[in-house]
Amino acid sequence: MKIKICGINRPVDVQYINQSQPDYVGFIVNFPKSHRSVDYNQLRALAGRIDAPIKKVGVFVDESAEQIAQILNEEILDIAQLHGKQEEDFIKHLRSLTNKEIWKAFAVESEDDLLQAEASSADLVLLDNKGGGTGQAFDHSLIKKFPRPYLLAGGMDEETIPLVLDRFSPMGIDTSSGTETNKKKDPKKIENIIRMVRNV
Ligand SMILES: O=C(O)c1ccccc1NCC(=O)[C@H](O)[C@H](O)COP(=O)(O)O
């Protein structure tokens, strides 16, 4: 079971990540509406200090494909996670500009959203709550049989992770708010969640 810790934005967070060694670390790139947003200079400085085995994921909400490809092709990031209204055409265009992995997050509000996720050409899909980074779960009863690997996101924390892993078998868990105290990353929560997910 994989684990992605999302939304780091301080040098001390890099220390927490290198100590705890999740599979993936996420950066909210150039999206100032989020308290977790980093600009491109911060992204280069922080991502450049992440230990090599940890895959670096850039979360993009309304950035152009050209801008995303440029930062991926600078080898700053390993993966682009599209978290906005990007459609299939956008993924196709981005793929023509970079060889890096492309992930797509789907806000799950109906069975139709799951059908779209199922059909996506993205390398990996995330099933998430609307908005992203809200700390709230979507209605998990909508997930019946989801026929491709996925990361489960939205409101994943020390209480909810054991409950969802009893019911579902995602490829991994993505969490942001569940690893924070007062909107800052909390090393104890990061360690506990990684241990919990790896023990499954
Ligand atoms: O984290 C944000 O602030 C954010 C803002 C806008 C779009 C996406 C965002 N986060 C993307 C993620 O991958 C989060 O880890 C995921 O939505 C789960 O968040 P949470 O419910 O807080 O654990």
In terms of Cα–Cα distance, which of 34, 7, 48, 3 is closest to 185?
7
Q: Is 135 in the pocket of ligand 1 (CB under 6 A)?
A: yes
Determine the distance separating the centroid of ligand 1 and the alpha carbon of 30, expressed in angstroms.
14
- 162: helix, coil or strand? helix
Q: What's the fold here for domain 2-198?
A: TIM Barrel (3.20.20)
pTM for the full model?
Answer: 0.97
Q: Parallel, antiparallel, or unpaired for β 172-175 and 150-153?
A: parallel
Q: For the segment 113-136, what is each residue's pLDDT rounded down to a tens digit?
A: 999 999 999 999 999 999 999 999
CA 159 – CA 163 distance, rounded (Å): 7
The pLDDT value recorded for residue 79 is 98
In terms of Cα–Cα distance, which of 129, 168, 172 is closest to 150?
172
Q: Is 22 in the pocket of ligand 1 (CB under 6 A)?
A: no
Q: For the segment 42-89, what is each residue's pLDDT rounded down to a tens digit?
A: 999 999 999 999 999 999 998 999 999 999 999 999 999 999 889 999
Determine the distance separating the centroid of ligand 1 and the alpha carbon of 180, expressed in angstroms.
12
Q: Return the bridge partners of 102, or none.
A: 80
Give me the residue spans of the domains in the chain: 2-198
Report, as an integer, the average pLDDT of 23-39. 98
In terms of Cα–Cα distance, which of 93, 97, 94, 117 is closest to 105?
117
Determine the distance separating the centroid of ligand 1 and the alpha carbon of 133, expressed in angstroms.
3
Which uninterrupted H or E stretch holds 46?
A: helix 40-47
Residue from 17, 25, 28, 185 whose mutation best tests the ligand 1 pocket (most atoms within 8 A of CB): 28
Q: Is it the case that residue 200 has pLDDT exceeding 90?
A: no
Determine the distance separating the centroid of ligand 1 and the alpha carbon of 6, expressed in angstroms.
7
